Amino acid sequence: MLIARMCTQSWALVADPADRDAAIGAVRTYPVTRPETSSGAFDLPLRIEVLRAVRSSP
């Protein structure tokens, strides 16, 4: 799920394929090296901030 989400981000969509593959490879490798996540599934908190602008009438 982490990799699938990462691949939908704008930087991944426009990145050079070699750069994108290197970044995704690093993210794929990182969790298995950490004791907190090496057992497999883990929770990934996600925070989203949204800004809304309203155009005022002239």
Look up the pTM and report it: 0.61
Identify the band that residue 5 occupies on the pLDDT scale cut at 50, 70 and 90: confident
Give the tens place of pLDDT for each residue, 7-22. Answer: 889 999 999 999 999 9
Identify the band that residue 23 occupies on the pLDDT scale cut at 50, 70 and 90: very high
How would DSSP label each residue in the chain?
-HHHHHTTSHHHHHS-HHHHHHHHHHHHHHHHHSTTTTTS--------------PPP-
**How far is the C-alpha of 37 from the C-alpha of 55, rounded, in Å?**
45
